[in-house]
Amino acid sequence: MSPLKTPEIHGHRGCRGLRPENTLPAFLHALELGVDVLEMDVVISADHQVVVSHEPWFNPLFCRDSAGQPIAPGSARLHNLFELDYAAIRQYDCGSGPHPGFPQQVSQPCYKPLLREVLSSIEAAAVQLGRPPVGYSIEIKSSPGGDNIFHPAPEVFLSLVLADLSAGGVMSRTTLLCFDQRILQLAHQQNPGLSTCLLVEDQRPWTTSINELGFVPTTFGPDFTSVTAEAVRLLRKNFSHLRLVPWTVNEISDMCTMLELRVDGITTDYPNRALQLFAALPV
């Protein structure tokens, strides 16, 4: 068997285990660490700005409102980003409070940035660091039940995101990720050369999900707990050129397993762990 190939390291929401998720400090820190790809999520504001955020609302676990007050549990959806102009969104703080799930995360005041701001900041920082250009994995947070409630319909959502990617000059280094097959199908119809990734979290056979999509995307992104030797064997047999990048791989033992299964990349909240692990591999 050929020597193990080091997988790409995709910094999940920047580096959620180390800095507040989906914020400029998280992306800049991940870039400095040396990730290959920055993974982030995007939603749409009321004034049709592309905002970097995992949820289309403010998460009460770590966000505070414009007055600096905690968001009451159960009221998150009252702070719907799709109903707020970006000027209002910018006033919330999603970094000062400690994240209960990530005790190593360094707390600091942070706002939800625009996608175009992230792209321009990262591109400039990469030049300043003298490092190779980074790749981008942009997850479009769309679902059929959220149309015109938490986000626009797929055609509008996709067009807004692609406009920012084109303006930022990063289209060739970007993969569009989505659980919503409609977004990927539309992207493929409009631009067959665009890199796409089908995300899945159910336990159905991977081939079933890919066949339902109607075309073979560039990348397949399953929950890492579903990645087994047999699943990988069947994927390589049926879709030999499909890249496999599971999420979200945080423990060293799981990273070692993914390495042994020869995945093409791992998405992780702790890119520092993956970088240290892979650096210690024999050349």
List of residues 6+ apart from 148 with CB closer than 8 A: none
- pLDDT tens digit sequence for 222-245: 999 999 999 999 999 999 999 999
Average pLDDT over residues 26-35: 98
Is pLDDT of 283 > 90?
Answer: no
Kindly calculate the radius of gyration of the chain based on its CA atoms and give it in whole angstroms.
18
Average pLDDT over residues 202-208: 93
Confidence at 282, pLDDT banded by 50, 70, 90: confident
What CA–CA distance (Å, rounded) separates 129 from 121? 12
3-state helix, strand, coil in the chain (%, to 5): 35, 20, 45
For the CA atoms of 276, 26, 147, 217, the dihedral, rounded to the nearest 10 degrees, stands at: -30
Amino acid 281: pLDDT = 87
Amino acid 175: pLDDT = 98
What CA–CA distance (Å, rounded) separates 32 from 44? 28
Confidence at 45, pLDDT banded by 50, 70, 90: very high
Amino acid 197: pLDDT = 99
Is pLDDT of 1 > 80?
Answer: no
More confident residue, 98 or 41: 41
- pLDDT tens digit sequence for 124-159: 999 999 999 999 999 999 999 999 999 999 999 999
What is the Cα 197 distance to its own chain's centre?
Answer: 11
Q: Write down the pTM of the prediction.
A: 0.97
What CA–CA distance (Å, rounded) separates 11 from 18? 11
Task: Give the whole-number percent of the chain exceeding pLDDT 90.
Answer: 95
Of the listed ranges 35-39, 151-155, 173-177, 201-205, the one predicted with least confidence? 201-205
Return the amino acid letter for 111: Y
What CA–CA distance (Å, rounded) separates 191 from 49? 22
* Residue 168, CA distances (Å) to 97, 116, 134, 247 in order: 31, 7, 13, 26
- 3-state secondary structure at position 68: coil
Q: In CATH terms, is domain 8-52+114-279 a member of 3.30.70.260?
A: no
Is pLDDT of 49 > 80?
Answer: yes
- Are the beta carbons of 16 and 106 closer than 8 angstroms? no
Confidence at 2, pLDDT banded by 50, 70, 90: low
Confidence at 203, pLDDT banded by 50, 70, 90: confident
Confidence at 199, pLDDT banded by 50, 70, 90: very high
